[in-house]
Amino acid sequence: MPEIAIIGGTGIYNADTFELIEKVFPDTPYGKPSNEIYIGRIAGVEVTFLHRHGTTTPYPPHKVPYKANMWALRELGCKYVISACAVGSLKEEYVPGDTVVVDQFIDFTKGRDYTYFDDRIVHISIPEPFCGYLNGTFIDVLKETGLPYHESGTYVCIEGPRFSTRAESFMFRNFADIIGMTVCPEVQLARELGMCYCSIATITDYDVWKDEVVDIQMVKDTMARCLMNVQTILEKALPRIQADGCTECIEAARGCGAL
């Protein structure tokens, strides 16, 4: 089974470049994942692909079955998880259309199911929450492509489904570079399962701290214009990911008793 998983939206899945082998829809102790999981190849590399928000049943960000999704990918043998997502910018220099390789997060969600450990005490150590090996691989590719990018960025994750108020947006600017609704608890659950996780974020707007109103159509339009960039980055990066490229993430989970 493939060791690399991609989580993204409908636009990230490209039937022209994804060689589909099969679809599976496994049961987990936490219910079904948000969609059938596609198993196939991109650029000759075996991968799984999961629509985060589903295709037949739409899941808003605060209702995505994150625990089922991550558990199902782990049970399929996935070691590496690559999240492709859309985010807003909180800084002038983080321009719509740019790609951000996320390296830190601030969790501002309120009501999600954050952990697999409700029956025993496990304290996950997560000072560096994103996989350094995966981040480095994508940074190397971005340097070669010439696409506008940022090799670091702090992501503040909000509950959704609403966008920020202007006051919230100004507050978040003091602490983070980008804002979105999906990285938490995905990244936390990945660490509990000993999986390597990275987030390749596409900036779609300036949130509301600038004099513009952000709506879903703006996000969709910008993301549509950037899809080719995301696909190019993935196709170039996937063949470089080695089976033994990282051991730190699984060791972090073992070290705290998660595994």
Which residues are annotated as catalytic? Answer: 205, 207
β strands within the chain, DSSP E: 4-8, 18-24, 37-42, 45-51, 80-89, 99-101, 104-108, 149-150, 154-158, 178-180, 196-205
Going by C-beta distance under 8 Å and a sequence separation of 6 or more, which residues neighbour residue 174? none
Rounded Cα distance between 235 and 215, Å, is 30
Angle at 84 between CA 83 and CA 85, to 5 degrees: 110
SS3 53: coil
Dihedrals φ, ψ of 15, to 5°? -60, -20
- Cα 192 to chain centroid, rounded: 16
Angle at 96 between CA 114 and CA 182, to 5 degrees: 10
